[in-house]
Amino acid sequence: MGEGIGLSSDIYIAEGAPGLYNGAVNSWYGEFDLGPAFTFGPLSLTPMAGIAFDWGAKHVTALNAPQLYTILNTDKIYIESWLWTLLYSPFKEQAAPNQIHTRDWILYKLSGTLSIGPQFELWANLKHKSIMGVYNKAGLTAMPIGGHIEIAYGTGNSLGLFVGYDANKDGRDARGGNAAVGRFTFVHNF
């Protein structure tokens, strides 16, 4: 869009993703986010807003705004931080609590293709009035901590692997006592 200003978007679909519609886990969750990207040398700031859908139930489920993605990319260090707000309350049939989420990692570049470092995440419910007219409980719901490995290959491609431990008891209890967490991510920059 101009010197140091771009346009960013992301789209993803997940089966059985978090979020509730009339008390049932979403069957096919989809999200579309859009926003400007501002670049200042090695620093990139991308504020975004988005919308989430349950394609199986054919309903909008959440407004994903505001969001802020911050990236610092130097010769040896890569830092990425996500800050999301997920607002389910604008949709009356939605039963999920509003949430805030942060995902942060710092990687040391071992080579041009391999980076490694720690990752920290946090999920928390925000207090709001539910469809039943009562206030949902606010507070921390998950706090995964672990390691992140990133492999860059080809032009604009990377594979990321996060493996960790949920340090929050509520997060472990929500997964039947399982403390292990993980994520495999493929990213392509056009």
Whole-angstrom Cα distance, residue 13 to residue 41? 32
In a domain, 179, yes or no: no
| Residue 1 per-residue DSSP state | -
Both tokens assigned to 163: 């493996």
The pairs formed by 174-180 with CB atoms below 8 angstroms and a separation of 24 or more are 174/141, 174/142
Nearest to 19 by CA among 48, 54, 50, 51: 54
In a domain, 183, yes or no: no
In a domain, 156, yes or no: no
Nearest to 73 by CA among 34, 100, 47, 46: 46
In a domain, 154, yes or no: no
In a domain, 184, yes or no: no
Q: What pLDDT sits at residue 178?
A: 87
Looking at the structure of the chain, the number of domains it has is 1
In sequence order, the 6+-apart residues with CB closer than 8 A to the CB of 52 are 19, 29, 30, 31, 60, 61, 62, 63, 64, 86
In a domain, 50, yes or no: yes
Digit-coded pLDDT (tens) for 39-88: 999 999 999 999 988 877 778 888 999 999 999 999 999 999 999 998 88
Whole-angstrom Cα distance, residue 125 to residue 139? 5
Please provide the average confidence, as pLDDT, over all residues in the chain.
86
Q: What pLDDT sits at residue 22?
A: 47
Q: Which residues form the domain of 51?
A: 5-148
3 state DSSP class of 174: helix
pTM: 0.84
In angstroms, the Cα distances linking 26 to 23, 52, 107, 159, 177 are: 9, 11, 33, 26, 22
Q: What pLDDT sits at residue 79?
A: 98
CA within 13 Å, CB half, 119 = 24
Digit-coded pLDDT (tens) for 101-142: 999 999 999 999 999 999 999 999 887 665 556 666 788 989
In a domain, 73, yes or no: yes
In a domain, 117, yes or no: yes
